[in-house]
Chains A and B, each alone.
Chain A
Amino acid sequence: MTAAAAQPDEAGAGATLVAENVRKEFGGLIAVSDVDFTVPAGSIVSLIGPNGAGKTTFFNMLTGVYTPTAGRIIFDGRDVTNKPPHAITELGVGRTFQNIRLFEQMTALENVLVGMHSRLSGGIIRSILGTPGLRREERGARERARELLQYSGLSRRDDELARNLPYGDQRRLEVARALATEPKLLLLDEPTAGMNPQETAAFIDFVARLRGDRELSVLMIEHDMKVVMGISDRVTVLDYGEKIAEGTPQEVQRDERVIEAYLGKGAAA
């Protein structure tokens, strides 16, 4: 922890997230191999790579689902390497999942309210007594949840069960729920998977608007190159658990190793 406190200078001022030499082994398999990685504050960074490259594993380490085998993760100047997921969320990392993981039997509004968990304070005794302060907090939370749903393009869906929403709306609800945690860094795991071109275009606009409105950084895993090249400030490429390229979208597009990873040897020539 003391090392983390001394970190910010070295890690570069203004970086929301810094991963240093992060490594994850599952038995003999090295899923992520000594990756250095930075998300500058206020930027949109994309993480790309072929299937099985270790992107989601890397995400899961950032959010505390997995503990790295080696290396450190520093978020907002604090070492979060061994913290549990809820603590990392509380510090300001919100996420969505590759396969949508909503609370299916809860309504859209309730899903968002669950996202606010760490920002509310109602305890057991106060909940049973129904104190005025608690009622006020609940009313405020519901109000904010409705606004968030509206902001995410889900107006008048408040009382719909999450599982009954159309696919695109479920994706939107996942983002709304993640925003409810009041993140400084939003992690999106393949947010446009399964969307049609119109939905994807709308989503790109949404993420761009999000950054402007909420002063947050975005890190996303994405396969759709139109999305990646369209809104990313920086792109990092993983292959077989190793970082093979990093830079602006244009730089990465021209990188030989990237072309090789995607299209095979000799394709670059």
Chain B
Amino acid sequence: MSEPRGSESPEHARHPATGGGLGPVGEAWSGLPPIVRRLLPLGVVLALALAYPYIVSDLRGFGVAGDFFPQLSSVVIILVFTMMAVGLNVVVGYCGLLDLGYVAFYAAGAYTAGWLASGHFQQVNFHLGSVGISSEAAGIHISLFLVLLLAGVFTAAAGIVIGLPTLRLRGDYLAIVTLGFGEIIPQVVRNGDDFGGFNATNGTFGINPIDSPGFGTSLSDAVGLPASFQQSFQRERLFYWSILALILFTVFCCVRLRDSRLGRAWIAIREDETAAAAMGIPLMRTKTWAYAIGAFFGGIAGAFYASFKSGAFPSDFFFNISVFLLCMVILGGLGSVWGVVAGGVLLGWLNVEGLAVLGSKFNDAAGTNIEIAKYQFGIYGAIIVVMMLFRPTGLIPEQRRKRELEEGVHDESLYEVSK
């Protein structure tokens, strides 16, 4: 995957900003053509990521260090939240709209999957490309690949509906109202089992089981594609590669949008709303698009996760998650797509496995018995504070912010992924 309008910068990037003080490796590196330098790190990371299911058991057997490699099922969860963070980055990082209620989009996506790919609506019997279930089963069963798209579209529409009244507000006021929506949606979901007799969300019990993605028996017989992820012996690998593909899709879209007319308008609004309006940018429409696109990816990730967990439960949608996703964005670098991916993977890993592993290592070494995972939000808070003190622009700063700090360096932030 390439940065589309990146062709603008290499001309200027080739000037000898990276000269001086490089070892032989560095010289060989800068001798490579720019296109190789741009794509090689990404290719290496991608190759490793694709191969991870094959090497994970070897890696985990690697003595003390082995424990630091997460299990495949954990990686799926990490990547789901990373994808949400990349979506949130469009709203917060590009457009500068502080959204504290992103979890609402996660919920909307998860429940779309619940409605369109489970036996929840017993009164109907609708099947469209569903796999792994009898065609007699009651409920709406649409192919999960289609449901992912529908969840994205539905959530984007929800984003527009939420955005139209709230996006007239600026700054802190917007943050407070989004916080409200982030609380309202889970409450609606929790109490949505009786809308005048209509059971929309099945209340606190949630909706389950939710169907699994798959290609169906005919494609399976013909080309060997898995019929149903859930019933495959390679279930986790299939989900892992799927979420990897979804993340790449998200990153690709976000990079393309960043360098587009719309992306420039978002950043202009972030920089100075009044001036942006005076330059002909319709504020409401442009902000609503940011909201809708952020919601789109959040909805897809939510639906995917619901399918992976095979259920959508109201207890999943805590305010904590909104803050957690925001931490990923800030840690990675506001506005920097690759930074957010790095921040998301790091914080996600800490959340799912890392803290527990670090805690047990610490306890083994110090002979104590502290349950470190209990202090997780304190630890995330400390990480953010330390980041703000020593590296306020994030792990991989957005290019323009970085340039502000290091004048004249025109490197693409993309390179640092492999470091």
A residues adjacent to B (C-beta < 8 A):
63-65, 84-87, 89-90, 95, 97, 101-107, 110, 113-115, 117-120, 122-124, 127-128, 130, 134, 138, 142, 159, 161, 163-164, 177, 180-181
Contacts and interface: CB of A to CB of B under 8 A. Distances in A.
20 contacts: A65-B278, A90-B280, A95-B278, A97-B278, A101-B274, A103-B276, A104-B272, A105-B271, A105-B401, A107-B400, A113-B264, A115-B279, A117-B261, A119-B280, A120-B261, A122-B260, A134-B260, A161-B403, A164-B404, A164-B407
B274 A86 contact: no
A104 B261 contact: no
A127 B279 contact: no
A127 B261 contact: yes
A103 B8 contact: no
B262 A127 contact: yes
A85 B262 contact: no
B256 interface: yes
Which one of B253, B268, B289 has the highest number of Cβ atoms from chain A below 10 Å of its Cβ? B268
A127 B278 contact: no
B275 interface: yes
A86 B281 contact: yes
Given A89-B278, A118-B280, A142-B8, A101 B272 contact: yes
Contacts of A124: 257, 260, 262, 289, 293
B261 A122 contact: yes
B382 interface: no
A63 B277 CA distance: 10
B265 A117 contact: yes
Residue with the greatest number of chain A CB neighbours at <10 A, chosen from B260, B277, B279: B279
A177 B272 CA distance: 14
Interface in B399-418: 400-401, 403-404, 407, 410
Contact of A128 (B257, B274, B279): B257
Given A89-B280, A127-B262, 18 more contacts: A65-B277, A84-B277, A85-B277, A86-B283, A97-B274, A101-B274, A101-B275, A102-B272, A103-B272, A104-B271, A104-B272, A105-B267, A106-B264, A106-B268, A110-B267, A117-B281, A127-B260, A138-B5
A127 B267 CA distance: 16
Contacts of B253: 128
Q: What secondary structure prevails in chain B residues at the interface with A?
A: helix
B256 A128 contact: yes
Interface of B: 4-5, 8, 12, 252-253, 256-257, 260-265, 267-268, 271-272, 274-283, 289, 293, 400-401, 403-404, 407, 410
A105 B262 CA distance: 16
B92 to A, nearest CB: 15
Contact of A85 (B256, B268, B278): B278
Contacts of B293: 124
A136 to B, nearest CB: 13
A101 to B, nearest CB: 4
Contacts of B272: 101-104
Contacts, number: 112
A120 B281 CA distance: 11
Given A104-B271, A106-B400, A142-B8, A114 B262 contact: no
A224 to B, nearest CB: 23
B289 A114 contact: no
Contacts of A123: 262
Contacts of A119: 280
B256 A130 contact: yes
Contacts of B257: 124, 127-128
A181 B280 contact: yes
Contacts of A134: 260
A178 to B, nearest CB: 8
A181 B268 CA distance: 15
B374 to A, nearest CB: 40
Contacts of A115: 279-280
B261 A103 contact: no
A168 to B, nearest CB: 19
B280 to A, nearest CB: 3
Contacts of A110: 264, 267
B262 to A, nearest CB: 6
B279 A177 contact: yes
A73 to B, nearest CB: 15
Nearest to A183: B280
Contact of B275 (A102, A138, A163, A164): A102
A119 B278 CA distance: 14
A87 B268 CA distance: 17
A103 B271 contact: yes
Looking at B5, B261, B276, B277, which has the most chain A CB atoms within 10 Å of its CB? Answer: B261
A85 B246 CA distance: 38
A181 B281 CA distance: 10
A125 to B, nearest CB: 10
